[in-house]
Structure 1
Amino acid sequence: MSLKFLLKCVQFQRTFLEINKRLPSFAYSSTTAAIKSAESSDVTNFHNEKLQKYLETLREEFYKLRVQPTNDVQIHQRIGKLNKIVHNLEQYRAIKSNMVSAEDMAKEKDDDMLSLMKEENEVYSDLLKKAEAQIMIELLNFTDSDTCGSIIFEVNAGAGGQEAMLFANDLYEMYINYLENNGWDYDVLDHVTTDIGGLRNANVIINSREAFNNLRFEAGVHRVQRIPATEKAGRIHTSTVSVTVIPRPDDKEIQISEKDLKIETKRASGAGGQHVNTTDSAVRIVHLPTGLSVESQTERSQLKNREIGLKRLQAILIKRQYESTLATTQATRRAQQGNLNRNEKIRTYNFVQDRVTDHRISNGTTHNLREFLQGGEQLNEFISRIAIDHRKYVLAEVLTNWQEPKEKNSS
């Protein structure tokens, strides 16, 4: 065994350890699988020539911005986003530069040395795949820049009567579990139930940018197929539940003036213990400009009910503003809810076959439905895959419309 071979082994070991230490920890999880399963266009392939030119343009922009002193918050935010892409791109290129070329291997006469070269390239190839996947994740996140600090999340029973309401409650509990699993702050504004444990509708404000990035893809009609407990003939019933996601942009908070409100108090009614019918804790708020009215009597404190009522009123006004905006562009709230017909759906929950099928993604079927409804990893995997599909679509549009900057003529 030659000294040259031993030195090469030592050099390779040091290089591998250094690169692997710098490369971000990256497991081939559901996110990685999502990228592979979301191939929608050649232009979003990592090795596509146009995508590579786009990456190089982003790299050049990053280094130019970094050396220019500025107090502009938006520029600093862009530098931060670009940094994640460029950092991984530089690591990718460093790994690639360490690979032995086919020409060098063809010239090598030492069999041991040639074997080591091949082994090196295999290791570096695995590292390149990890780096490629990480770059694509950062690029997809960078391209899809839609964001807002909080959302209004609604669950509404649709076609199917009591069965639809029972399933609406199942979905509501699934999403509440999902929120709690992710540690997101939320506030339940409305939760209208039925006597048999069903849910007519629920309205939740979720304060998290991550919530918007994930839950916006849950908007639409969810279809359930199962045999109701009251069905004696064993027939499968089909019902629907709609989910609506309304963003609350940071710069478009609706201000409600006190002079536009008519606030009435009364004694709470219904089940609720000793405080019911003993104090004027219930609150009814009327928004005079629109005629909208809301009521709240869930709390013992009149001040707390007033606070909840104002939040409900603001949520309704935001919803109206959002729907109005969509109506003047390309969609309406109906695009999310459809008309609640049984034939319209984004996802089907089939209890008889113990499966959940998302109709927007390939291979979008999973089993163990009860586990899925716990709002854990199975739901998170579906959401991740749909998010990746959406972001790849956005990236494809960006690259299709993107023009490579023309080089400036040197004077």
Structure 2
Amino acid sequence: MLRKLLRVRCECLVRRWASTDPLSFQNEKLQSYLESLRQEYYTLRVNAAGNNSLYERLTRLDPVVNSLEKHRALQRNITSEKDLAAEKDEDMRALMEEENNVYSNLLRKQEEDMLQELLALSDDEDYPAVIFEVNAGAGGQEAMLFAQELYDMYTSYFDHMGWEYEEFDRETTDIGGLRHANLQVNDPEAYNWLRFEAGVHRVQRVPATEKSGRIHTSTASITVIPRPADVQVQIAERDLKIETKRASGAGGQHVNTTDSAVRIVHLPSGIAVESQSERSQLKNREVALKRLQAKLIQQQLQSAEASKKATRKAQQGNLNRNEKIRTYNFVQDRVTDHRVQQGGTLHNLPGFLEGGQQLSGLIERLQLEHRKQALVQLLETWQPPPQEAVDRN
């Protein structure tokens, strides 16, 4: 009898704790929210025909509501504690308890699946492309070498994900470093993956030029700016000041005899771009115009994002060594993402820098945490619809 009382008391405590967890299926507010989604879903099934936006919402709700209906069907198969207590036949009661255990395990699995579907609902912003920028930060030449490694990692990651991308601007150093690079990634899924990479990345290692073996700390930043489908930038010829000059750097006699380098100043904004990577003036002009367009789009998007507190400055921080979202420690062969509470440290740093599955797995964890926080915030402010609206449905 004492053992049974203790078991009942523990079960009550578990239910009481679970009810305070906003993402527990024992939480009344979550249950009410799920029911409101179910009501919305069946209303949309009647009204969505011929309306693309309503049909899209219906499609997104479909997996959540299907999971909810399966969950409720499983619940109906579980024998209540009252019915178990009323059963006098011990063998029958044992069989009923065994069935309950089976259905309880199925319920837990269904709850996990439903939570994943629900978390996906709390996502995601769709943009056809993103502007992706890498900038060297504090640390001089070592920071620029690290920025080049990040550039290589992310372009490999774009290839790993099967995304198309094009480079608009890239400034390198004589020893193989990178001052900055600007790319556009053209894929509707890119923003929801790359958004978590925006911020200051810190590297700790012994530079090749360091004779005393002292560990240096340097930084680089990643900026991710979504590009909506309706963003258009018109560049009028009268707003441009175009200059030509002889290209500098390697290239033999050609760079010393031909005015192939192009510099373009956009007079209304003051933005200046240049290109000398191509051998012909015409091609350099095309490249420079693309870079100018990318920078003007960036400027336009930054203005729009300012209202959402997601500006480029907020992503980059001040590029100080003590500001970081992730640390790459070469001495200890580890990568630590400072936003992940548990399990945020990965080993095999060279493998991580290949930009493949290790990076993808870490981003998936960040996605999950972001979705959980978004759903919790939604539930904190969400209010159930008036009863008369529910009755109409």
TM-score between both structures, scaled by the size of structure 2:
0.85
Q: Which residue number corresponds to residue 377 of structure 1?
A: 357
Q: Which residue number corresponds to residue 324 of structure 1?
A: 303
- Mapping for residues 218-233 of structure 1, pairs under 5 Å: 218-233=197-212
In structure 2, the CA distance between the partners of 1:308 and 1:119, relative to structure 1 (3 Å rule), is farther
Q: Which residue number corresponds to residue 395 of structure 1?
A: 375
> Secondary structure of the residue that 1:67 maps to in structure 2?
helix
Over aligned residue pairs, what C-alpha RMSD do you find? Answer: 2.8
Q: Which residue number corresponds to residue 158 of structure 1?
A: 137
Once the two structures are superposed, what CA deviation does each residue of 1:290-315 show, in whole Å capped at 9, x if it has no partner?
Answer: 23221223234655434332221122
Shift of 1:53: 0.8
Mark the runs of 5 or more structure 2 residues left unpaired by the alignment: 1-17
| Conservation of the 8 A alpha-carbon contact between 2:122 and 2:375 | yes
Percent sequence identity is 62
Shift of 1:366: 1.4
| Conservation of the 8 A alpha-carbon contact between 2:48 and 2:54 | no
- Mapping for residues 130-169 of structure 1, pairs under 5 Å: 130-169=109-148
Letter in 2 for 1:390: H
- Mapping for residues 299-378 of structure 1, pairs under 5 Å: 299-300=278-279, 304-327=283-306, 330=309, 332-363=311-342, 364-378=344-358
Once the two structures are superposed, what CA deviation does each residue of 1:231-253 show, in whole Å capped at 9, x if it has no partner?
Answer: 12111111111111111122233
Shift of 1:48: 1.5
Q: Which residue number corresponds to residue 177 of structure 1?
A: 156
Shift of 1:264: 4.7
Size of the aligned set, in residue pairs, is 372
Once the two structures are superposed, what CA deviation does each residue of 1:313-361 show, in whole Å capped at 9, x if it has no partner?
Answer: 1221122223334445646432211111111111111111111111111
Shift of 1:121: 3.7
Q: Which residue number corresponds to residue 67 of structure 1?
A: 46
Mark the runs of 5 or more structure 1 residues left unpaired by the alignment: 1-38
1:42 maps onto 2:16 in alignment: no
Once the two structures are superposed, what CA deviation does each residue of 1:108-143 show, in whole Å capped at 9, x if it has no partner?
Answer: 667776555445444433332332222222222212
Shift of 1:63: 0.9
In structure 2, the CA distance between the partners of 1:329 and 1:59, relative to structure 1 (3 Å rule), is closer
Q: Which residue number corresponds to residue 220 of structure 2?
A: 241
| Corresponding residue to 1:286 among 245, 265, 269 | 265
What CA distance in whole angstroms lies between the structure 1 residues aligned with 2:29 and 2:363? 29
Letter in 2 for 1:320: Q
Shift of 1:209: 2.2
Shift of 1:393: 1.7
Once the two structures are superposed, what CA deviation does each residue of 1:36-80 show, in whole Å capped at 9, x if it has no partner?
Answer: xxx9x8223333111111111111111111111543322121111
Shift of 1:377: 2.1
> Secondary structure of the residue that 1:374 maps to in structure 2?
coil
Shift of 1:273: 6.8
Per chain length, whose mean CA-contact separation is higher, i.e. which structure has more relative contact order (CA < 8 Å, sep 6+)? 1
What CA distance in whole angstroms lies between the structure 2 residues aligned with 1:341 and 1:267? 37
| Conservation of the 8 A alpha-carbon contact between 2:336 and 2:346 | yes
What CA distance in whole angstroms lies between the structure 2 residues aligned with 1:360 and 1:228? 27
> Secondary structure of the residue that 2:168 maps to in structure 1?
strand
Once the two structures are superposed, what CA deviation does each residue of 1:165-198 show, in whole Å capped at 9, x if it has no partner?
Answer: 1111111111111111110111111222212221
Once the two structures are superposed, what CA deviation does each residue of 1:70-119 show, in whole Å capped at 9, x if it has no partner?
Answer: 43322121111111211222222233333344445555667776555445
Compare 275-284 and 319-328 and name the one that shifted more. Answer: 275-284
What CA distance in whole angstroms lies between the structure 1 residues aligned with 2:112 and 2:252? 57
Compare 207-216 and 266-275 and name the one that shifted more. Answer: 266-275
Q: Which residue number corresponds to residue 66 of structure 2?
A: 87
| Conservation of the 8 A alpha-carbon contact between 2:124 and 2:192 | no
Letter in 1 for 2:75: K
What CA distance in whole angstroms lies between the structure 2 residues aligned with 1:189 and 1:75? 38
Shift of 1:286: 2.6
Shift of 1:283: 3.5
Q: Which residue number corresponds to residue 15 of structure 2?
A: none
Q: Which residue number corresponds to residue 51 of structure 1?
A: 30
In structure 2, the CA distance between the partners of 1:168 and 1:69, relative to structure 1 (3 Å rule), is closer
In structure 2, the CA distance between the partners of 1:373 and 1:118, relative to structure 1 (3 Å rule), is farther
In structure 2, the CA distance between the partners of 1:299 and 1:103, relative to structure 1 (3 Å rule), is farther
Q: List structure 1 runs of 4+ shifted beyond 6 angstroms.
A: 109-112
Q: Which residue number corresponds to residue 191 of structure 1?
A: 170
| Conservation of the 8 A alpha-carbon contact between 2:48 and 2:55 | no
Letter in 2 for 1:77: E
Compare 310-319 and 100-109 and name the one that shifted more. Answer: 100-109
